[in-house]
Amino acid sequence: MYRCDKCEKTWTHPLKACIFCGEELKNEVSEQFSVIGFTEVFIPSIKNETVPYYVFLLEDEHGNKCLKKSYQKFKIGDKFDYGSSNKDNTVFGVIGTGLLGMQICEYLITSGYVTVLKTRDPLAISTIQSKITARLQKSHTLESAKEILKLLVVTTSFSEIKSCDLIIEAVPEKFELKTEVFRELSKICDKKTIFSTNSSSLSISKLATFSDRPDKFIGIHFFNPVKRMDLVEVVVGEKTSEETTNRIVSLLTNLKKKPIIVKDSPGYIVNRLLLPQINEAIIMLEEGIASKEDIDTAVKLGLNHPMGPFQLADYIGLDICLSILEVLDKESTMIKNKPAALLYKMCEEGKLGIKTKEGFYKY
């Protein structure tokens, strides 16, 4: 709140001077809020699709009010720390600065959580910071982007990540690379730290054996773009404890995501359903059954998908599609997922989709 003491007026916007007397406005910072009212909302709306949720009417020591949405229930009179909707001070660690790693980081700090991002290259630190600033500025003012950025720590050393409550590993989808990360983490991390991987297809139970804490090891599979895709697959390994699973589900709910739980298995739910479909579409194209445009139209209008399989494959990246299909083909005995020859050919030619400006379509 911005206050003019002389005129006893307040503003919610960061304005400079009082329009009544011209004096400079004072930024009144709230230490703590109390709940003075609440309602449990049962009607879904855009960005509030998951119901019911609570809206709390809060008042600070100056009598200033604000609202806060939460899935957790509080009573009238309860104290409330603004900034964290869940009274928890979870610190996140993110390893990997690829597309998903950066997006997860951005999402966490925008949600108000301190996040430590680990990269291998010391020269990349400033590039990463300016990249995230640029991304934040798309939906925030420079001032508030700077505020949010204060929650981000970028580092090259594993030691800075050791006391995080939850570490999300998001390095490239290579088994050896991931096992190396968890071996390192096991050496240095606090006992309380939960390990998680954003892997889209690898076995959680196998990865967990390379760590010292299979009970505190879980898969947290975010989808691209993280900001807009509400779904998160929580992948439970053989030894993942119930406590770990519950903690992750509640954390993700507070992050306004919709977690679903799936047992460790090749491709989990989404990719196991999606990739065979993309593969079949490519085989159909190879066989000359229909044009790619018509297959996309058929899936969009006939199955009511927002994108057709070729558009989606280009968006995901054909190399990633291929690697997931190879895992599905190798690991699952029930279904046949031999990747289409055309997919191999396009990957070899470097036509990987939107990121290389050409896949099934040109961009």
Partner 1 sequence: MYIIGAGRTKFGKLENSLEELAYEAISKSISDSELSIHDIDAIYVANFLGGPLNGQLHLNAMISSLIPGCHLPIIRVETACASSSSALNQAIIALNKFSNILVVGVEKLTGSFLIPPIDAIAMAEDKTIDKDNGLIFPAAYALIAQRYFREYGGTHETLEKISFLNHSNANLNPLAHFYQKKVTMDMIRDSKMASTPLNLFDCSPLSDGAVAMIISNEKQSDRNVRILSSQIASDTISIVERKDITSFKATKIAARRAYEESNLKPTEIGIFEVHDCFTISELIALEDLGLCDKGNGKYLVENDMISINGEYPVNTDGGLKANGHPIGATGLAQIFEIVTQIRGEAGKRQLPDIESGLAQNIGGIGGTSGITILGCL
**Would you count residue 122 as binding partner 1 (CB under 8 A)?**
no
**Is 13 among the catalytic positions?**
no
**Nearest distance, CB of residue 41 and partner 1, angstroms:** 5
Q: Which of 244, 231, 164, 165 is nearest to 204 (CA)?
A: 244
Beta bridge partners of 146: none
317: left (phi over 0), alpha (psi -120 to 50) or beta: left
Catalytic residue among 233, 279, 323, 337: 233
Angle at 176 between CA 332 and CA 232, to 5 degrees: 60
Near partner 1 by CB under 8 A: residue from 2, 33, 53, 310: 53
Contact window for partner 1 (CB under 8 A) among 51-59, 101-109, 295-303, 354-362: 51-59
Q: Put residue 199 in one of left, alpha, beta given phi > 0 → left and psi -120 to 50 → alpha.
A: beta
Q: From 39-47, 103-111, 175-183, 198-206, give the range in contact with partner 1 by CB under 8 A.
A: 39-47
Three-class SS state of 57: strand
> Catalytic: 305?
no
200 is catalytic: yes
Instruction: Report phi then psi at 306, rounded to 5.
Output: -70, -30
Q: Which is nearer to partner 1, 10 or 179 (CB)?
A: 10
Three-point CA angle 145, 151, 155, nearest 5°: 115
Distance CA 232, CA 257 (A): 7
**Which one of the listed residues 198, 199, 200, 211 is annotated catalytic?**
200
With binding defined as CB under 8 A, does residue 46 bind partner 1?
yes
Choice from 14, 24, 39, 289 touching partner 1 (CB under 8 A): 39
Give me the least distance between CB of 82 and partner 1, in Å please.
Answer: 11
353 secondary structure, DSSP code: B
Q: Which one, of 225, 230, 220, 222, lies nearest residue 258 by Cα?
A: 230
Q: Does 10 bind partner 1 (CB under 8 A)?
A: yes
Choose, from 271, 279, 323, 337, the residue flagged as catalytic: 271
Is residue 17 involved in binding partner 1 (CB under 8 A)? Answer: no
Q: Say how far apart CA 113 and CA 92 lie, in whole Å.
A: 7
Residue 34, Cβ density class (10 Å: 0-12 exposed, 13-18 middle, ≥19 buried): middle
- In the complex with partner 1, the residue whose CB is nearer, 87 or 336, is 87
41 binds partner 1 (CB under 8 A): yes
Which residue stretch of 52-60, 152-160, 263-271, 343-351 sits at the interface with partner 1 (rule: CB under 8 A)? Answer: 52-60
Binding to partner 1 in span 55-114, by CB under 8 A: 55, 57, 63, 65-69, 76
Whole-number Å distance between alpha carbons of 37 and 35: 6
Q: Is 254 a known active-site residue?
A: no
Q: Which of 19, 36, 134, 301 binds partner 1 (CB under 8 A)?
A: 36
Q: Which stretch binds partner 1 (CB under 8 A): 38-46, 119-127, 274-282, 307-315?
A: 38-46
Residues taking part in catalysis: 200, 221, 233, 271
Interface contacts to partner 1, rule CB under 8 A? 10, 12, 36-48, 53, 55, 57, 63, 65-69, 76
